[in-house]
Amino acid sequence: MSRRVLVVGGGTGGSIVANLLARRPDMEVTLVSREATHLYQPGLLYVPFGWVSPEQLVRPQRPLLHPRIRFLHDEVREIDPVRRVARLSAGELAADAVVLATGARLAPEEVPGMEDAHHFYSPEAAVRLRETLARLEGGHIVVGVAGVPYKCPPAPLEFALLLEWELRRTGRRSRTRITYVSPLPRAFPIESVADVVEPIMARRGIELVTFFNVERVDPARKTVSSLEGEEIPYDVLVLIPPHRGTAPVALDGIADRGGWIRTDRETLQVAGYDHVYAIGDATDLPVSKSGSAAHYQARTVAERIAAGNPGRDIRYTGKVMCFLETGERRATLLRFDYQHPPRPAPPNPVAFALKRLFNRVYWALVPTGRV
Ligand SMILES: Cc1cc2nc3c(=O)[nH]c(=O)nc-3n(C[C@H](O)[C@H](O)[C@H](O)COP(=O)(O)OP(=O)(O)OC[C@H]3O[C@@H](n4cnc5c(N)ncnc54)[C@H](O)[C@@H]3O)c2cc1C
pLDDT tens for each residue of 231-271: 999 999 999 999 999 988 777 789 999 999 999 999 999 99
Cα dihedral 151, 156, 162, 168 in deg (nearest 10)? 160
**In whole angstroms, what is the distance from residue 35 CA to residue 44 CA?**
17
Query: Do 38 and 63 touch, CB atoms closer than 8 A?
Result: no
155 CA to centre of ligand 1 in angstroms = 14
**In whole angstroms, what is the distance from residue 88 CA to residue 79 CA?**
9
pLDDT by 10-residue block (mean), the chain, 371 residues: 95 98 98 98 98 98 98 95 93 97 97 98 98 97 97 98 98 98 96 98 98 98 98 98 89 87 96 94 97 98 90 91 97 98 97 97 96 94
Q: What is the pLDDT of residue 289?
A: 98
262 lines ligand 1 (CB under 6 A): no
**In whole angstroms, what is the distance from residue 143 CA to residue 149 CA?**
16
Report the SS3 class of residue 135: helix
Q: What is the pLDDT of residue 311?
A: 66
Q: Cβ of 63: how many Cβ atoms within 10 Å?
A: 10
Distances (CA, A) of 341 to 336, 338, 346: 5, 8, 16
With DSSP H G I counted as helix, E B as strand and the rest as coil, what are the percentages for the chain, rounded to 5? 30, 30, 40
165 lines ligand 1 (CB under 6 A): no
Query: Do 302 and 20 touch, CB atoms closer than 8 A?
Result: yes
**In whole angstroms, what is the distance from residue 263 CA to residue 98 CA?**
13
Residues near 53 by Cβ (< 8 Å), separated by ≥ 6?
47
Q: What is the pLDDT of residues 302-355, one digit of tens each?
A: 999 999 877 679 999 999 999 999 999 999 999 999 999 999 999 999 999 999
Query: Do 197 and 324 touch, CB atoms closer than 8 A?
Result: yes
**In whole angstroms, what is the distance from residue 154 CA to residue 334 CA?**
10
Report the SS3 class of residue 176: strand
Q: What is the pLDDT of residue 1?
A: 79
68 lines ligand 1 (CB under 6 A): no
**In whole angstroms, what is the distance from residue 226 CA to residue 145 CA?**
11
Q: What is the pLDDT of residue 138?
A: 97
**In whole angstroms, what is the distance from residue 278 CA to residue 274 CA?**
11
122 CA to centre of ligand 1 in angstroms = 11
Kindly report the pTM of this predicted structure.
0.97
294 lines ligand 1 (CB under 6 A): yes
Q: What is the pLDDT of residue 103?
A: 97
Query: Do 103 and 35 touch, CB atoms closer than 8 A?
Result: no
Listed residue (31, 46, 66, 44) closest to 123, CA to CA:
44
Listed residue (297, 283, 362, 292) closest to 333, CA to CA:
292
Q: Which of 64, 77, 102 to mutate to test the pocket of ligand 1 (most atoms within 8 A of CB)?
A: 102
33 lines ligand 1 (CB under 6 A): yes
Q: What is the pLDDT of residue 114?
A: 98
**In whole angstroms, what is the distance from residue 241 CA to residue 233 CA?**
18
103 CA to centre of ligand 1 in angstroms = 5
Rg (CA), the chain: 21
Q: Which residues face 142 on adjacent strands?
A: 179, 237
Q: What is the pLDDT of residue 250?
A: 72
Residue 230 phi/psi, 5° resolution? -90, 150
Query: Do 136 and 280 touch, CB atoms closer than 8 A?
Result: no
Q: At what angle do helices 154-169 and 191-203 cross, to 10 degrees?
A: 20
